[in-house]
A and B are shown apart, each in its own frame.
Chain A
Amino acid sequence: MAPENKIDKEKMVVVEGSYAVAHATKVCRPNVISAYPITPQTHIVEDLSQFMADGEIPNCEYINVESEFSALSALVGASAAGARCYSATTSQGLELMHEVLFNISGMRLPVVMTIANRAVSAPISIWNDHQDAISQRDTGWLQLYAENTQEISDMTAQAFKISEDKDILMPSMVCMDGFILSHVYEPIVLLEQDLTDEFLPAFEPEHVLDPKNPMSFGAFADPNYYTEFRYLQEQAMQKSLKKIEDVANEFYDVYGRYYGGLIDEYRTDDADIIIMAMGSIIGTIKDVIDKLRDRNVKVGLLKVRSFRPFPVEAIKGALKDAKVVVVLDKNISLGLNEGALFTETKSSLYNTKLDMPIIGYMVGHGGRDIKVDLIEKIVDDAKEVIKTGITIESQFTDLKEELL
């Protein structure tokens, strides 16, 4: 049973999501920050620059760079030298980092990076969907998705702790929905310095670049060795499944706030229809569920916090009593006509005794609002599937026919 969330109303302040992330990063005491501003991540970088200028982040260096590729490249060296490293980016910036993402995860450097999710070009769009981070799902980075600004703030501290664990040493992307979370002002409790110091001790790297004790990071590996490196990376990913749960509980012990471990469930106890999604859309879905529950529609929500590693067992457990599963994706795997969460949920349930229909909807591309009546319509479709037993193919929804 999930612990009760205790939020101290007296400590609440109204801040912008980006400020919450920048503040969380500050109290995590990073040693090197390197990031290049890009909408909608810019405010995070601006706030961090301001903290640096005001001398509020001691023992830290901010490296100014000319692109995202350089930002992450600078952190390869810094992290290998034993520094706690942070960056932030989005969309095209993340795509520009693509090559270095593999280097960081392959060299097992526990860098933490905030992604203010945004659609990818072309056509150019600065608004939110999850295509940028999803496109990087196989780079070996952990991917955690936050529902609101309180969670993104707290998730930043959790990500450092997960990544820097000696058994894991894999980098993390902490994903927040661009604009919807990054530019919104919400009342939250900022991370306190003393509690964070207790929760997240100083980074003690297992291996560092040191001329006195030479070591090869990212060595050349011929076919005799490469497979074993990849196997060890996957092992670390599998170990992080438990670590993410543990860290969520440790965070609760220190701060009294809990958002679920790998997944979180909302009113799923007797639900026939379970809606799965990630990110800020969760809040809207919860409102719809409350409304539909008043009308005796048995619907629940499964929030996926960790997309990488993909919590196969947790999802199987949560879905076992559902009659139909609806997956909402703010991304598409082009050529498959499916969203990533839908595909992976479906493959997780294959070869199990769970064979309920799964319906995939691709919604909210390029920042299109996902409204309450759209989710209600989707739930109506799901009710129809239960009644007729005929499942629906994965599809785009909310299309404007007049533009096609």
Chain B
Amino acid sequence: MKILPGGVCEAGTTRINKTGGWRTFKPVYDYEKCIKCKLCELLCPDSSINPRDDGFFEFDYDFCKGCGICANECPKDAIDMVLEEK
């Protein structure tokens, strides 16, 4: 991140600040149960769930803080929060 005169910085700093290192639990995704409803992608506060071309999703663990909102909201319980081994 570059600090410009006056204390502002260039746009898109959320791509640089990787917040995935804070996680205790990580979401694990079950393709079999997924009905592609997109609720998880919509509700993820860190935009760390990205759609794939085939309608399924990818989890970007560089940015996922492990909040569990996706697992909580998934209507088919396709996402499990599991303790992350360090």
Contacts and interface: CB of A to CB of B under 8 A. Distances in A.
Contact of A214 (B5, B6, B11, B17): B11
A232 to B, nearest CB: 6
Contact of A166 (B5, B8, B13): B5
A140 to B, nearest CB: 10
Contact of A108 (B8, B10, B13, B17): B8
B6 A215 contact: no
Interface in A213-266: 214-217, 219-222, 225, 228-229, 232-233, 236
Contact of A215 (B1, B9, B17, B19): B9
Contacts of B12: 214, 216
A226 to B, nearest CB: 11
Question: Which secondary structure dominates chain A's binding surface?
Answer: loop
A233 B5 CA distance: 11
Contact of B7 (A214, A220, A229): A229
By size class, the interface of chain B is 10 to 19
Interface in A189-227: 206-207, 214-217, 219-222, 225
Contacts of B4: 207, 215
B1 to A, nearest CB: 6
A106 B3 CA distance: 13
Interface string A168-183: 0100000000000000
Nearest to B14: A220
Chain B contact residues: helix, strand, loop or mixed: loop
B3 A220 contact: no
Given A222-B17, A225-B1, A216 B7 contact: no
A302 interface: no
Nearest to B1: A225
Contact of A106 (B5, B7, B11, B17): B7
A228 B7 CA distance: 9
A107 B7 contact: yes
B7 A215 contact: no
Contacts of A236: 7
The 10 lowest CB-CB distance pairs between A and B, nearest first, are A214-B11, A108-B7, A219-B13, A169-B6, A108-B6, A207-B8, A206-B6, A216-B9, A216-B13, A219-B9
Interface of B: 1, 3-14, 17, 19
Given A106-B7, A215-B10, A225-B1, 20 more contacts: A107-B7, A108-B7, A166-B5, A206-B5, A207-B4, A207-B6, A207-B8, A215-B9, A215-B11, A216-B13, A219-B8, A221-B1, A221-B17, A222-B17, A225-B3, A228-B3, A229-B7, A232-B7, A233-B7, A236-B7
8 contacts: A106-B7, A107-B8, A207-B4, A215-B8, A216-B13, A219-B8, A225-B1, A229-B7
